[in-house]
Amino acid sequence: MATLTKLFVTLSIISLLACSTNAQLNPNFYGRTCPSLQTIVRREMTKAINNEARIGASILRLFFHDCFVNVSPL
Protein backbone atom coordinates (compact mmCIF):
# COMPACT_ATOMS: atom_id res chain seq x y z
CA MET A 1 0.00 0.00 0.00
CA ALA A 2 2.81 2.40 0.84
CA THR A 3 4.44 1.69 -2.51
CA LEU A 4 1.20 2.53 -4.32
CA THR A 5 0.92 5.78 -2.37
CA LYS A 6 4.52 6.73 -3.17
CA LEU A 7 3.93 5.96 -6.83
CA PHE A 8 0.78 8.10 -6.89
CA VAL A 9 2.55 11.03 -5.22
CA THR A 10 5.52 10.74 -7.56
CA LEU A 11 3.34 10.62 -10.65
CA SER A 12 1.28 13.53 -9.38
CA ILE A 13 4.36 15.67 -8.85
CA ILE A 14 5.76 14.76 -12.25
CA SER A 15 2.48 15.59 -13.96
CA LEU A 16 2.32 18.95 -12.16
CA LEU A 17 5.85 19.79 -13.22
CA ALA A 18 5.13 18.81 -16.81
CA CYS A 19 2.11 21.11 -17.08
CA SER A 20 2.66 24.49 -18.63
CA THR A 21 0.96 27.46 -17.05
CA ASN A 22 0.14 30.94 -18.20
CA ALA A 23 -0.83 32.26 -14.73
CA GLN A 24 -4.29 33.36 -15.81
CA LEU A 25 -7.31 32.46 -13.68
CA ASN A 26 -10.34 31.28 -15.59
CA PRO A 27 -13.69 30.58 -13.90
CA ASN A 28 -14.56 28.06 -16.64
CA PHE A 29 -11.32 26.07 -16.36
CA TYR A 30 -12.86 22.93 -14.87
CA GLY A 31 -15.90 23.22 -17.11
CA ARG A 32 -13.54 22.61 -20.05
CA THR A 33 -10.96 20.30 -18.53
CA CYS A 34 -13.20 18.15 -16.31
CA PRO A 35 -16.89 18.75 -17.01
CA SER A 36 -17.99 16.15 -14.45
CA LEU A 37 -15.95 17.67 -11.61
CA GLN A 38 -18.94 18.82 -9.56
CA THR A 39 -20.56 15.39 -9.82
CA ILE A 40 -17.33 13.69 -8.75
CA VAL A 41 -16.79 16.02 -5.78
CA ARG A 42 -20.43 15.72 -4.67
CA ARG A 43 -20.27 11.90 -4.83
CA GLU A 44 -16.99 11.70 -2.91
CA MET A 45 -18.15 14.20 -0.29
CA THR A 46 -21.34 12.20 0.23
CA LYS A 47 -19.29 9.03 0.70
CA ALA A 48 -16.95 10.79 3.14
CA ILE A 49 -19.82 12.21 5.19
CA ASN A 50 -21.55 8.83 5.26
CA ASN A 51 -18.33 7.28 6.63
CA GLU A 52 -17.70 10.06 9.18
CA ALA A 53 -20.46 12.59 9.80
CA ARG A 54 -18.15 15.23 11.30
CA ILE A 55 -15.94 15.41 8.20
CA GLY A 56 -18.45 17.71 6.46
CA ALA A 57 -18.10 20.36 9.14
CA SER A 58 -14.32 19.94 9.15
CA ILE A 59 -14.05 20.44 5.40
CA LEU A 60 -16.39 23.43 5.50
CA ARG A 61 -14.33 25.00 8.29
CA LEU A 62 -11.11 24.35 6.35
CA PHE A 63 -12.59 25.93 3.21
CA PHE A 64 -13.62 29.12 4.98
CA HIS A 65 -10.37 29.29 6.94
CA ASP A 66 -8.36 29.04 3.73
CA CYS A 67 -10.56 31.60 1.98
CA PHE A 68 -10.77 34.23 4.70
CA VAL A 69 -7.62 33.86 6.79
CA ASN A 70 -5.73 36.48 4.76
CA VAL A 71 -8.49 39.12 4.76
CA SER A 72 -7.34 42.29 6.42
CA PRO A 73 -9.61 43.99 8.99
CA LEU A 74 -11.49 47.15 7.99
Given the residues 36, 65, 70, 71, the one annotated as active site: 65
Active site annotation includes 54: no
45 neighbors 56 (Cβ within 8 angstroms): yes
Helices (H), the chain: 2-18, 29-33, 37-51, 55-68
Residue positions annotated with a catalytic role: 65
